[in-house]
Structure 1
Amino acid sequence: MANESGKTVKIKLVSSIIPTEGELEQYEMWLEGSCVEKGNSHYLRYEEVQEDLQIQTTIKLNEANSFIMRKGGVNMRLPLNPDLRENGHYESPFGSLPLVTDTHQLAIEVVQSEKVSGQFKTHYDLIIGGNSVGHYKLDIQFTEV
């Protein structure tokens, strides 16, 4: 799968957020995107629309050091490393905000048989200004169409 445009995949994304002060927020999305293999990593790419803003999302699938990168309506780089806290950032029209992730779980499985499929699971705390703002869980399953 060395093709730069990748394989077209159907994506099921389930996101759970438990804010430090608040109740569980959970949402599920079904998307179409692509899965690209580069070196020892796979990259899952998709586009979503939130509040009329188009956001291009790329997720690096690598158990040692993954990341979630978003561009468009919001710009964000969220590194995920189970061995140490990582610095990221979030940019909006209102300014840039430094973020820290404390990754508790990072599990990736990519199966390449006749069609590529896999899953990506992560659980992390998002830290802003030295304080945790919540616990985040992301569960993504994808299958080539």
Structure 2
Amino acid sequence: MANENGKTVKIKLVSSIIPTEGELEQYEMWLEGSCIEKGESHYLRYEEVQEELPIQTTIKLNDKRGFINRSGGVNMRLPLNPGMRENGHYESPFGSLPIVTDTHQLAIDVQKNEKVSGRFNTQYDLIIGGNSVGRYTLDIQFTEVQ
């Protein structure tokens, strides 16, 4: 079991977006963060920098539901609950925006051998103002660093 700071992990994050009008956009990031286990859930925490602003991200991972919380350069709460539409929010220096997620898929596989490793995958529609702006896929792989 990890201490309150968790185990240090390397994270490969691949985000794919198919906008309602437009072509596939795909982003890949390699990050270092921490993984904390609490009950049946795992929490990945990492920091990324966008437009010179640091953003702290926490992702709750389990096979029933999850969420993505971001704070710093942007503030966001993105709930992930398969089969349900959930309200979230997105705040940036330009203003606040209510958002809705319609989660189609949510899966996690965690291995606890000598090192903790795992994979998390989710697919959801992002709805703004009652209309889908696109289908988002997030694939995260993480491996403990010794």
TM-score with structure 2 setting the length = 0.96
1:104 aligns with 2:104: yes
1:33 aligns with 2:33: yes
Give the partner amino acid of 2:33: G
Whether the 8 Å contact between 1:41 and 1:62 is mirrored in structure 2 is yes
Q: Which residue of 1 aligns with 2:80?
A: 80
Q: Distance in 2 between matches of 1:63 and 1:78?
A: 16
- Quote how far apart the aligned CAs of 1:38 are: 1.4
TM-score with structure 1 setting the length = 0.97
Q: Distance in 2 between matches of 1:25 and 1:19?
A: 8
Gaps of 5+ in 1: none
Q: Distance in 2 between matches of 1:123 and 1:91?
A: 22
Could you list the structure 1 runs, at least 4 aligned residues long, displaced by more than 3 angstroms after superposition: none
Give the partner amino acid of 2:135: H
Q: Give matches, 1:1-145, under 5 Å.
A: 1-145=1-145
Q: Distance in 2 between matches of 1:40 and 1:137?
A: 23
Matched residue count: 145
Give the partner amino acid of 2:126: L
Whether the 8 Å contact between 1:20 and 1:132 is mirrored in structure 2 is yes
Higher alpha-carbon deviation: 89-98 or 133-142: 89-98
Gaps of 5+ in 2: none
Q: Secondary structure at the match of 1:103?
A: strand
Q: Deviations over 1:1-39 (max 9, x none)?
A: 241100000001111011111111101111000000112
Q: Deviations over 1:27-64 (max 9, x none)?
A: 11110000001122110011111111111110000111
CA RMSD in angstroms comes to: 0.9
Q: Distance in 1 between matches of 2:114 and 2:88?
A: 36
